[in-house]
Amino acid sequence: MPRVALYAGSFDPITNGHADLIRRSLRFVDHIVVAVATNIAKQPLFTADERTELIIAALDRDPRVEVREFQGLLVDFAKQSDIRMIIRGLRAASDFEYEYQMALMNRHLAPELETVFMVPSLDTTYISSSLVREIARFGGDVTGLVHPATAAALRTKDRKSTRLNSSHL
């Protein structure tokens, strides 16, 4: 039986931190389903399709990485997909309380599901998608934080929003 894990998030956009966790997980699972949340309260910069494409590119089209969009509860998606392992990253002690609560709540909803916490590489622990978006918006350099394909997509978004803003002047 192949070992399959689920790694969920909004990935708006995927960062080198997410990619690091996925690669680390592939050392002990055969296949990872990356679940892109589409009904998050956050107003995303990238569409779900764009986020999916960027994840595939960031993982160099690794056939062991499958990207799927999901809505609703993560436990329901896991059940439908017949997956029993959820991967989460703990970047800092500040992540712990929220992650612990979410893991216990997911266990309450689906006792057959296990959450596995991973420690990301030290040089990615300070990365978050919203910081990356902010740096890109103000023209900062996101090299080393995201895959080159994501950096290019951020530049394209930035140019589009600049054009939109100036058309309103």
Q: Binding of ligand COA at residue 87 (CB under 6 A)?
A: no
Segment 151-154 long-range contacts (CB within 8 Å, at least 24 positions apart): 153/13, 153/46, 153/50, 153/54, 154/13
Contact between 128 and ligand COA per CB under 6 A: yes
Amino acid letter at 95?
D
Binding mask 28-57 for ligand COA (x = CB under 6 A): ---------x--x-----------------
Cα 18-134-73 angle, rounded to 5 deg: 45
CA dihedral angle for residue 123, residue 126, residue 131, residue 132, rounded to 10 degrees: 10
Q: Tell me the chain's radius of gyration from C-alpha atoms.
A: 17
Q: Smallest gap, in angstroms, from Cβ of residue 139 to ligand COA? A: 19
Contacting range for ligand COA; rule: CB under 6 A; set: 23-31, 49-57, 125-133, 155-163: 125-133
Residue 15 interacts with ligand COA (CB under 6 A): yes or no: yes
- By CB under 6 A, name the binding residues for ligand COA: 8-10, 12, 15, 17-18, 21, 37, 40, 73-74, 89, 91, 102, 105-106, 120, 124, 127-130
